[in-house]
Structure 1
Amino acid sequence: MYGLRGGAAKKRNKMEFKKAVNLLDIFCITVGVMISCGLLVLPALAYARTGAALIFSYFFAGLFAIAGALSQAELISSTLKSPGTYFYVVRSMGPAIGTIDGILTWFSLCLRSAFLLMSISFFISPIFNNLNFHLIAIGFCILFSILSLIGIKDIIRFQVILILGFIIFLTIYLIMGIPRVNLDNFWPFMPHGITPVITTAGFVFISYGELLKIASVAEDMKNPDKIIPTGLILSLAIGGILYTLIIFVTLGILGPSNFYSSPTPIVQSVYLVTGLYGKWILSMWAILVLISTTKRGIALATRYPAALSKDRLLPKFLSITHPVFKTPFISIILTGSLIAIFTFFDLNILIEVGSTVLILTFIFSCLCVIIMRESGIKTYTPKFYTPFYPWLQIFGIISCWFLVINMSKIALFVSSFLCAAGIAIYWFYGRIRCQKDFALLHLMAKIIDKDGMNITKEEELKEIIQERDDIIKDRFDQIMGECIVLDIDQPMKRQDFFKLAAKKLASRTGVNTDEIYRLLEERESKGCTAISPGIAIPHIITGEGHSFEILLARSKKGIIFCDSENPVKTVFVIVGTKDERPFHLIALSAIAQIVQDTSFPEKWMKAKNEDDLRNIILLCQRKRNH
């Protein structure tokens, strides 16, 4: 209790050093890969489905992704844990659905990484006399897996410079290319009708998979409540604008036949606009961006089997770390092998399956937010709340489900197989070993009005929030974590309350019940301890010794202290020995900070039980003394 100063300072310094990711970093990490994944190879494949109206497919994909992306931002801002939303799917919908989501997200990242590896090979193959695409992809897969195993971190500052340079080059290309656009190349604009334009949004949805990677750097953000939503919105908006303009210019310059026949149409268009040097600059820059982001994607994908293993939903050996590099090497080897296999898939199937499982994870994110909010868990306190709740989540679920049901049969089969595999793994392995409480139980209890369920989820979330907000417990927190809490339903007079409090505190302090009562009444006779309407802090000094206790009480109908018109509903009873006088003042200061929060009275009266009352005190924002 008294040895917190050194440890707390050390931990706080570590956190301050660690949190170095800012808004520009998040923007570049997300929008850079959205551009490289969605523009360099994907448009040519999607064009065959829609014609020139492909531009609107990207728009619809971004529109449908907004709800899932903002829901993920809310969930991630609650935990700042990696791998982000999987953590909350388990803790909101239970380990069975969590297993499905973890496997879906893992496969989504693996499929997307395989697609990016093939994209790299399309750019590198011509440089080396048309070297085999699959050979290049597997070579880079092995390289990135080794880097993940060794534990080499991404250099975010280098990535920022790389992405900003890439965006500047593309902007120059747009400025030079717009005068060369031939509008006749957009006719017929919508040869297959409106339906394929909307359904193709599901095909190109894989472009927005980078939004999942916010979780990989969430713990390193300076102001996550502002950075996460702002970064996601900026990435979606600017990425969507760049998608539209670059596809417009590229198609307008190349024409339908050249656009469709080239695996990398933007490279051919840049060649026509800027010449050979521009083509080589774009190719080299694209390769560097793809290498950087693919390496990050593979590293993130390897975390999911390890996370499932730590939650005892997959075998324990998947979370075993290498004795030297301290990385989950078996998870890395398994993930790398899976990605290498995926590079042999037909590219259209690879993209469509990857998009389908990605869309399902966005649906889970929307469902999680609804369950967490409606469950009434007091310790669910995200730094960012999704606007237009719950309509935005409902829109996200319906729109994303529409995209799923319009996917190809093979994509639906693979997605269904993965869901079935998740259920089977949980039933035959995880169910036996993992007994986690989850927020859906709170929601069920709320609906059927049962309070007797043994649910410990709030305690787990409390610890997460303390870590997220860098709350390092001081002595006051330690005392409040162990103090007596009374939740009184009936109205009381002050004298009756003091008798009850004295009886409870006598066993803790070793002071006679009558003596505590006498001292409380004596202190009250000198001046009312109700410091403000509804709040009282009766505090007394006992004899010698080393004792300090606090009793916390809520009276729903009020305790009459000195004013019958303003009954007290919040009471902190402080009993300490003479040698604890300095801490006595510290405790009074801490309580004053807590009750000054304008939201405190509402939270206090809405608390469901004694644990909720205690958590309100422990999770408050105040200056802590270490």
Structure 2
Amino acid sequence: MKKGLGFIDVFCIASGAMISSGIFVLPGLAFSQVGPAMILSYLLAGLLALIGVLSVIELATAMPKAGGDYYFLTRSLGPLIGTVSGLLSWFALSLKTAFAIFGLAEVIYLLSGERIPLFATAVPVTVLFALLNIRGAEAAAKFEVALVMLLFLLMGGYMVAGMPNLEASHFTPFINEGMGFSGILSTAGFVFVSFGGLLKTATIAEEVRNPRKNIPSGFIAATLAITLLYALLLFVTIGVLPAEELAGSYTPIADTARMLVGPIGYGAITLAAVLAFVTTANAGIMSASRYPLALGRDNLLPPFFAKVNRRGEPMVAIILTSAIILLSLLLDIEKLVKAASAVVISAYVLSAAAVLVMRQSKLTNYRPTFRVPWCPWLPLFGIISFSLLIIDMGMAAIEVSLGIVVFGLLIYFFYGRKRTDMEYALLHIVESLTNKELTADSLEKELYEVLEKRDEVVHDEFDEILKNAEALDLGPGADQNELLRVVSEALERVLDHSAEEIRRRFVEREQQGSCVLTPFVAIPHIIVDGEGLFNITLIRSREGIPFEGDHSVKAFFVIAGSRDRRSMHLKALAAIAHIVQHPEFETRWTRAKNEAQLKDILLLSERIRM
């Protein structure tokens, strides 16, 4: 898929996915529960959303693929969990998008004097957004950027108009009688849906330019900006609108604007609400359609779900997502939106669990460019916190979610299980605990390909030589003599020289100067007779081989080449010297399960390629 999205696109898609009914409708209901302290509830919900999204960022930077949390969970916890989660998230985001389109249609219905019915607006709007996304995520993202910028402008005007008109008495008492901190926590769970759309943005990670930088900065900036925006909007709303009006209002922001600047203000905020519904709907179709795309790619749904048009966009998935949105408008919107919110929160729980599994699996090619701080304690805190929020939402939402879970299980057991033999990180943990061979390195190979695309690696001559290089593991108790024997016999097979001659040259070279580069790394290298000869052999000694001083070398890069390949000889020495300076090199080299993974460490290294 085309990488056309930058930082501004990621920021605006994430922001647009969050700003919706959570700020234009919920404040009145939240105020009736805890009073002005609802500002703290929104801030607390924003903090929890930030904690949750840190896990999503780590996974997205390690595996920037379409499908977002579905892809992460499938590769970490397995295809069963991935199928269920993918379907849950697909339906959840589709239903949340339908709710936004419902809100837009309701506004038009009221403004038209109740003459334009819901479906007369919902159908063309859904078709319009589907066509925008079929044209390409980049086109949809540009539309999203324009809408979000206008939305921020209108919200900024609202705050500028409201600040001089604040009444300090409106903030007293700050919290309703009998509520206390437990009330603030409960209300934080109630308003968490205001941040629920943030998870959508992970589904377009494959289309982000320079994902190692733009995904973390875009996600974190959007979360902080929207949390601050919510707090400021609520501060103005509480300070201007009398408590008795705010507590009973379903349009508190628009009502406040009417008090400040009359019908013009009311119209401007109504326009802002429309823009919010539009941005949520546009981002929702874009994100939701990536779930069936990813499921189809993995053969967990029929392959036509994974078909893309000539622009690289998942046209079939977008059309089916739009159909689900329109059909869901016939259902009980309020109940389904609550269910969707519960599913989105559960995705944060599973994402935190996935981070713990991926870290513990010690996969060589799991290389996130952003890591959750204070792991495992912060992910564990997130799992507990979000689980409590889900319980607090009530059984109605959970029952609908369980229905979708059962549907997902049926699809997996009757379709997907027969068509996939996917390897996942949890198997690697079980393998290490049981000492049984359960994996075949396919996940490492898949992650290798993902990292190649993420880092846009263009292999040079050194990489091409490494691809064909021999990698060997020395057995327990190996010493320098055993190392020389193994090296000489390996090079005898590829060079027109006897093992004895090769051994003699290595001994002479070592007498001229030590080949030890660091206490962990040595680069034995010799010049051989002939033309066009150049070879690199990778050797690992898990126990280490004693060299000069107290050094116990575990990584050997053995180079042998003819004089006419002297320039390649020097390039290889420079490349290796750069690679071994990486702070995680020694850990990765030690943890690599086999020879292929030793080569991956070098092929995916961050270095200047010539």
**TM-based fold match above 0.5:** yes
Matched, 1:594 2:592: no
Distance 1:318 1:558, change over 3 A: closer
Tell me how far 1:451 sits from its aligned partner.
Answer: 5.7
DSSP-derived class of the 1:612 partner: helix
Q: 2:568 aligns with which of 583, 599, 603?
A: 583
- In 2: Cα distance, 1:355 partner to 1:595 partner: 46
- In 1: Cα distance, 2:145 partner to 2:131 partner: 24
| Residues 206, 354 of structure 1: 8 Å contact kept | no
Distance 1:136 1:258, change over 3 A: farther
| Residues 541, 555 of structure 2: 8 Å contact kept | yes
DSSP-derived class of the 2:59 partner: helix
Tell me how far 1:397 sits from its aligned partner.
Answer: 1.0
Q: 2:74 aligns with which of 51, 66, 90?
A: 90
- In 2: Cα distance, 1:261 partner to 1:523 partner: 86
| Residues 65, 396 of structure 1: 8 Å contact kept | no
Worse overlay, 540-549 or 65-74: 540-549
Residues 50-61 of structure 1 correspond to what in structure 2 (within 5 A)? Answer: 54-61=38-45
Q: Which residue does 2:233 correspond to in 1? A: 246
- In 2: Cα distance, 1:155 partner to 1:420 partner: 33
Residues 334-373 of structure 1 correspond to what in structure 2 (within 5 A)? Answer: 334-373=320-359
Q: TM-score, normalised by structure 2?
A: 0.90
Q: Which residue does 2:487 correspond to in 1? A: 501
Counterpart amino acid of residue 387 in structure 1: P
Distance 1:63 1:568, change over 3 A: closer
| Residues 158, 257 of structure 2: 8 Å contact kept | yes
DSSP-derived class of the 2:536 partner: strand
Q: 1:70 aligns with which of 41, 46, 54?
A: 54
Q: Which residue does 1:172 correspond to in 2? A: 157
- In 2: Cα distance, 1:437 partner to 1:445 partner: 12
Counterpart amino acid of residue 346 in structure 2: L
- In 2: Cα distance, 1:52 partner to 1:565 partner: 66
Residues 127-526 of structure 1 correspond to what in structure 2 (within 5 A)? Answer: 127-130=111-114, 131-151=116-136, 153-154=138-139, 156=141, 159-160=144-145, 162-178=147-163, 179-181=165-167, 183=169, 189-190=175-176, 193=179, 198-219=185-206, 221=208, 224-255=211-242, 258-259=245-246, 262-322=249-309, 327-450=313-436, 453-526=439-512
CA distances 1:141-186 after superposition (whole Å, capped 9, x unpaired): 1222233334474364564454344334323323433425474597
Tell me how far 1:358 sits from its aligned partner.
Answer: 0.6
Counterpart amino acid of residue 615 in structure 1: D
CA distances 1:322-377 after superposition (whole Å, capped 9, x unpaired): 4x665433322221111112223334313311211111111111110010011121
Tell me how far 1:89 sits from its aligned partner.
Answer: 0.6
DSSP-derived class of the 1:487 partner: strand
Matched, 1:120 2:104: yes
Worse overlay, 373-382 or 238-247: 238-247
Distance 1:371 1:214, change over 3 A: same
| Residues 50, 192 of structure 1: 8 Å contact kept | no
Tell me how far 1:476 sits from its aligned partner.
Answer: 1.6
Q: TM-score, normalised by structure 1?
A: 0.88
Tell me how far 1:299 sits from its aligned partner.
Answer: 1.9
Distance 1:201 1:533, change over 3 A: closer
Q: What is the percentage of aligned positions where both structures have the same residue?
A: 36
Counterpart amino acid of residue 603 in structure 2: L
- In 2: Cα distance, 1:115 partner to 1:181 partner: 34
Distance 1:39 1:372, change over 3 A: same
Distance 1:36 1:503, change over 3 A: same
- In 2: Cα distance, 1:325 partner to 1:584 partner: 44
- In 2: Cα distance, 1:473 partner to 1:325 partner: 27
| Residues 94, 324 of structure 2: 8 Å contact kept | yes
Distance 1:463 1:175, change over 3 A: same
- In 2: Cα distance, 1:183 partner to 1:352 partner: 34
Counterpart amino acid of residue 380 in structure 1: Y
Q: Which residue does 1:100 correspond to in 2? A: 84
| Residues 427, 438 of structure 2: 8 Å contact kept | no
CA distances 1:477-501 after superposition (whole Å, capped 9, x unpaired): 2222332222224444434322221
Counterpart amino acid of residue 585 in structure 2: F
Worse overlay, 274-283 or 424-433: 274-283
- In 2: Cα distance, 1:200 partner to 1:344 partner: 29
Q: Which residue does 2:64 correspond to in 1? A: 80
Distance 1:353 1:452, change over 3 A: closer
Q: Which residue does 2:609 correspond to in 1? A: 624
| Residues 506, 513 of structure 1: 8 Å contact kept | yes
- In 1: Cα distance, 2:308 partner to 2:607 partner: 38
Tell me how far 1:311 sits from its aligned partner.
Answer: 0.5
Distance 1:147 1:80, change over 3 A: same
Distance 1:566 1:243, change over 3 A: closer
Worse overlay, 602-611 or 415-424: 602-611
| Residues 67, 290 of structure 2: 8 Å contact kept | yes
Counterpart amino acid of residue 432 in structure 1: K
Q: 2:541 aligns with which of 542, 555, 558?
A: 555
| Residues 50, 196 of structure 1: 8 Å contact kept | yes
Counterpart amino acid of residue 327 in structure 2: I
Q: CA RMSD in A?
A: 3.0
